[in-house]
Structure 1
Amino acid sequence: MDRIKLGLAGIGKIARDQHVPALAASDDFELVATASRHGRVEGVTGYVSIAEMIHACPQVEAVSLCTPPEGRFEQAMTAIRAGKHVMLEKPPAATVSEAEALAAAARASGVTLFATWHSREAAEVDAARTWLADRRIDAVRIRWMENIRQWHPGQDWILAAGGFGVFDPGINALSIATRILPQPLVVLHATMDVPANRACPLAAAITFRSGEAAVDACFDFLQTGGQTWDIEVDTDAGMLRLTHGGSRLELPGEPLVSGSNDEYPRLYRRFAELVRSGESDVDLRPIKLVADAFLVAERRVTEPFEF
């Protein structure tokens, strides 16, 4: 089967760390062009915009967007209107309405749209979902705490309006929670700590309900030392612990299970399946929860933050 010719847009840290290696190992895709104002991939023809890439390289069949969410809507629309299949790095857009409009445009154009949630592809997420499926959920604790200076050095956009702040990593936790919990999550209350010189929070706490279960989530962008990406679920059969971003699973009375990081290769395999079957996958539950949290949150102004 011929490989799908792909253009990669936004050659920054996530593209270099994850997308480029996954594409280099892919049997489904051939990286034939990039679009980025600053970055390039060695051996691949680069353009400064998606429009220029599509015009100069019409053989591109699909576009994978790794740009920040602010401004991604027009980039994705450009590709969709040109009849290209589109894969979106998380979060899929700056707002829910943008993401919904992209989904509608993809349907109208007859192309695939894939709104990805890479943390759902962590090694033990599906096993956790299966174990929880027929159990009573009593309580859930989400702790997603990492160091912004380590993972987003100098990336001011992430704390600007539309950048999501601590919800850039926090939405990963919500993507897993919406995948593994049998009942929907509903936002009840939230607090957000926003530096005086920034638009988006560096820390947040949210209270949810999932069925009858209380769900407590804490997100922190200033954790130094060890990083914490954990979800604990109390059930009628004991406690499930999904840690290390979903790659390690502890179940009552069973040995710890740990899998390798294969998130982005799995995403690209899924994208290829969707393209070849003529389907789309646009699950907006995680970004809707973030939007709900912003709507109800108590905003607390904290000390200015500098990288």
Structure 2
Amino acid sequence: MIRIAVIGVGHIARHEHLPALKQSPSFDLVAAVSPVPVDLSVPVFESIAALMESGIAVDAVAICTPPDRRYMLAREAIEAGWHVLLEKPPTLTRSQAQALRDLARSEGVTIFAAWHSVYASAIPRIRSLLSDIDPVSIAITWKENADKWHPGADWLWRPGALGVFDAGINALSILTVTNAEPVVFQEARLDFYGDQQAPARAELSLTGGRTACPITASFDWRHDPASEIWEIRWSLPEGDTLCLAKGGAHLSRGEHVIPLEESREYAGVYRHFAQLIDTGESSLDLRPLDLVSEALAYGARRRH
């Protein structure tokens, strides 16, 4: 069993990471780190330093804090000799991620960017179906309500935060892992509201594939919580379509629904993390982060 500690015990850690770890045959949760008091079945420490001083044996950590804190926490963990899983996005910038990758390599530990959406049960089917088909166009519609999923989380909107891309990057991770060719940024329009320093809505234009097919992405974090949408639609030759819906839980081709096993994304995340640790490898895919960084850097901005 790999002895693991969870760093950051917010909504995602409680509802996804902790249940997945409880069911994992490879990991044993031995501790947690949280700057605010939380009630767990394992010891909880205020900092990584306090965890190290406790003498509790740790092999790996899952860093589930807001993105702007992950780089320094990951450095501490790697320097302690621990394998590191990073919630998405792994860091705020490519340079931070590359520095962590180099440090992990020098310390001989695994670092893993956990793009949980790519472990949906539909993803292997999509990759197989698209392996010999060039889409005519791709349309992403990813609309949800931030207050529903992250109640009271002011970190979503402060300087350096990703805003709506904290959710939209999930769609981009699916896009990049299923597209046979690199996805290329073209332009973006970003909408900011009130005094928020991160966008709440975004429209992206991208291209990808051997035929440079047009890709559009519409992201909204102010959407009606009663009618949220997580959909990617591939328009295929001769009027055929492939549609991923419900964030990866539903797949159809034309009018035909493709049967899928129940999606257990975080079970897949931890299964892969264990495999990487076992083989001494790392996985730090930065393609979704690159697209978001380019949109934030070069997108046209509108203030509401």
TM-score, normalised to structure 1's length?
A: 0.95
In structure 2, the partner of 1:231 is: 232
Superposed displacement of residue 138, structure 1: 0.7
User: Aligned residues, how many?
Assistant: 300
Superposed displacement of residue 181, structure 1: 1.3
1:160 to 139, 158, 173: 158
Q: Which runs of 5+ in 2 are unaligned?
A: none
In structure 2, the partner of 1:170 is: 168
- Alpha-carbon distance between aligned partners in 2 of 1:70 and 1:268, rounded to the nearest angstrom: 23
CA contact (8 A) 1:32 1:44 kept: yes
- Alpha-carbon distance between aligned partners in 1 of 2:159 and 2:47, rounded to the nearest angstrom: 22
- Alpha-carbon distance between aligned partners in 1 of 2:140 and 2:150, rounded to the nearest angstrom: 22
1:172-214 C-alpha deviation (Å, 9 max, x unpaired): 0000000111121111110000113011000000000113200
In structure 2, the partner of 1:53 is: 51
The residue type paired with residue 228 of structure 1 is I
- Alpha-carbon distance between aligned partners in 2 of 1:202 and 1:20, rounded to the nearest angstrom: 29
- Alpha-carbon distance between aligned partners in 1 of 2:236 and 2:13, rounded to the nearest angstrom: 38
In structure 2, the partner of 1:305 is: none
In structure 2, the partner of 1:247 is: 249
- Alpha-carbon distance between aligned partners in 1 of 2:19 and 2:161, rounded to the nearest angstrom: 25
Is 2:116 the counterpart of 1:113? Answer: no
Q: Which runs of 5+ in 1 are unaligned?
A: 303-307
- Alpha-carbon distance between aligned partners in 1 of 2:201 and 2:260, rounded to the nearest angstrom: 29
Higher mean alpha-carbon deviation, 259-268 vs 185-194, is at: 259-268
The residue type paired with residue 86 of structure 1 is V
In structure 1, the partner of 2:133 is: 135
Superposed displacement of residue 39, structure 1: 4.4
- Alpha-carbon distance between aligned partners in 1 of 2:155 and 2:231, rounded to the nearest angstrom: 26
2:6 to 5, 8, 20: 8
Structure 1 segments (4+ residues) deviating >2 Å:
39-42, 252-259
1:45-80 C-alpha deviation (Å, 9 max, x unpaired): 010011211231341000110000112111000000
The residue type paired with residue 201 of structure 1 is P
Alpha-carbon RMSD? 1.2
- Alpha-carbon distance between aligned partners in 2 of 1:54 and 1:265, rounded to the nearest angstrom: 27
- Alpha-carbon distance between aligned partners in 1 of 2:40 and 2:82, rounded to the nearest angstrom: 24
Give the SS at the match of 1:268.
helix
Superposed displacement of residue 41, structure 1: 4.5
Is 2:70 the counterpart of 1:72? Answer: yes
Higher mean alpha-carbon deviation, 35-44 vs 196-205, is at: 35-44
CA contact (8 A) 1:8 1:65 kept: yes
2:40 to 42, 46, 71: 42
